[in-house]
């Protein structure tokens, strides 16, 4: 049998990070502390979602932030409950008509992303008669 030959390693310089990301701490107390801190933060965010009072705009921004951070799956039940409540409120009162373009876009994207039927007609207030968006919306 012939031994397999390995390619010669390239002459890379030392990594600027050192071994910071390649070494795993073996301190279980540290891992436990991280786990407790993570659980504390998750509970704090959950409380923020459940007790979110005030304008729908604030709630939408909170949901948007949580999902963009990539941790929305931890709070899927709370987010779904809030979105269902939001959808019901907006169906009956059409309160989304008072939103600015930013909030309208977040409302549209988040509810659509979660499977709710939201018509694109909510953007009509930003359009001209010819169907194009109002020029005043664009920064020149």
- Structural domains of the chain sorted by starting position, each given as residue range(s) with its CATH number in brackets: 28-130 (1.50.10.130)
Determine the Cα–Cα distance for residues 16 and 24; give it in Å rounded to an integer: 18
What pLDDT is attached to residue 1?
52
Contact 127, 134 (CB under 8 A): yes
Which tokens hold the place of 82?
A: 């809030």
Contact 114, 90 (CB under 8 A): no
What pLDDT is attached to residue 25?
61
Long-range CB pairs of 10-19 (<8 Å, 24+ gap) are none
What pTM does this model have?
Answer: 0.69
**Scanning the structure block, which residue is given the tokens 């020029």?**
135
Per-residue pLDDT reduced to its tens digit, 68-95: 999 999 999 999 999 998 888 877 666 6
């Amino acid at each position: 049998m012939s031994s397999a030959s390995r390619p010669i390693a390239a002459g890379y310089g030392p990594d600027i990070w050192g071994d910071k990301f390649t070494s795993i701490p073996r301190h279980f107390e540290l891992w436990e502390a991280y786990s407790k801190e993570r659980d504390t933060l998750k509970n704090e965010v959950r409380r923020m979602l459940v007790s979110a009072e005030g304008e729908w705009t604030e709630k939408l921004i909170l949901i948007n932030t949580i999902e963009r951070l990539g941790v929305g799956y931890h709070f899927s039940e709370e987010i779904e409950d809030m979105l269902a409540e939001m959808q019901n409120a907006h169906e009956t009162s059409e309160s989304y008509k008072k939103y600015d373009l930013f909030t309208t876009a977040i409302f549209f994207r988040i509810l659509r992303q979660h499977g709710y039927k939201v018509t694109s007609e909510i953007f009509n207030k930003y359009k001209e008669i010819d169907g194009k968006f109002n020029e005043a919306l664009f920064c020149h």
